[in-house]
Amino acid sequence: LVFENSTKASKEVAKEIADLIKVKQAQKQPCILGLATGSSPKGLYAELVRLHKEENLSFKNVIAFNLDEYYPMEPDSMNSYVRFMKEQLFDHIDILPENYHVPDGLLTKAAIADYCDQYEAKIEALGGLDLQILGIGGNGHIGFNESGSLQNSKTRLVALDHITRVAASGDFSGLENTPRTAITLGVKKIMEAKRVILMAWGEGKSNIIKASAEGEVTSRVPASFLQEHNNATFILDQAAASKL
């Protein structure tokens, strides 16, 4: 779906999420959301905060799982995804603190594999993700599933691509300070989400959007796996859609 601009597009996504939360509330069910970081979902989170403050949208039945976190990473460090999510969304809505999850960047290396299995098990125990929000990296990564990630990949510790680290290096004041690894939800859990919405804005994403939406389905471009999902939508502004 192509929108005139990212603000209009973000409002549309927020509306879909709000409607889903309300349907689940009426059914007395939790709403299980998969959330993303990066600049692309910022407008969505701002709109969800507005719906909470101005239209009484409650998040008390929402259970959220974030896609990824740098490793190692202190939760209150400037660039942690915990901090990002609190600043953009969680601190401004009525989600219960025990109901949001961001992968733990403080684990010992030895503890990571079990932790990742438990992260997936928690999602499974809730019946899977009702809706997964995604951005896309310039190389086609989703979460931190870099090029080469398999369609059945599990939640795990990954090495970040050079191109991903260069893109993030501005936030970390230099490549030498940018993490080399991260914990990411695997492609498999993303593909199992009942609904997937990938958001991308701007000319800079247009080539990778074309490759992901119209190119070969390949692990070289993990976002291309979404072509095989039965309820995935790319929400784009005109610039991001310009090569389609």
The residues carrying an active-site annotation are 146
For residue 137, the minimal CB distance to ligand GLP (Å) is 5
Q: At what angle do helices 6-26 and 42-55 cross, to 10 degrees?
A: 50
Please report how many Cα atoms fall inside a 13 Å half-sphere around the Cα of residue 22, on the Cβ side.
11
Query: Across 54-174, where does the E strand assignment appear?
Result: 62-66, 68-71, 100-101, 131-134, 156-159
Counting contacts by CB under 6 A, is residue 137 touching ligand GLP?
A: yes
Counting contacts by CB under 6 A, is residue 136 touching ligand GLP?
A: yes
Counting contacts by CB under 6 A, is residue 146 touching ligand GLP?
A: no
Counting contacts by CB under 6 A, is residue 38 touching ligand GLP?
A: yes
Question: CA-to-CA distance for 130 and 14, rounded, in angstroms?
Answer: 14
Q: Which of residues 51-70 bind ligand GLP (CB under 6 A)?
A: 67-68
Among the listed residues 103, 143, 186, 222, the single contact to ligand GLP using CB under 6 A: 143
Identify the DSSP state of 143: T
For residue 198, the minimal CB distance to ligand GLP (Å) is 9
For residue 127, the minimal CB distance to ligand GLP (Å) is 23
Among the listed residues 5, 39, 77, 231, the single contact to ligand GLP using CB under 6 A: 39
Q: Which of residues 96-115 bind ligand GLP (CB under 6 A)?
A: none
Among the listed residues 37, 61, 155, 212, the single contact to ligand GLP using CB under 6 A: 37
For residue 180, the minimal CB distance to ligand GLP (Å) is 14
Question: CA-to-CA distance for 194 and 230, rounded, in angstroms?
Answer: 8
Counting contacts by CB under 6 A, is residue 164 touching ligand GLP?
A: yes
Q: How far, in Å, are 13, 56, 181, 202, 230 from residue 166 at the CA level?
A: 29, 40, 13, 19, 33
Question: CA-to-CA distance for 155 and 188, rounded, in angstroms?
Answer: 8
Question: CA-to-CA distance for 188 and 207, rounded, in angstroms?
Answer: 24
Residue ranges binding ligand GLP (CB under 6 A): 36-40, 67-68, 135-137, 143-144, 164
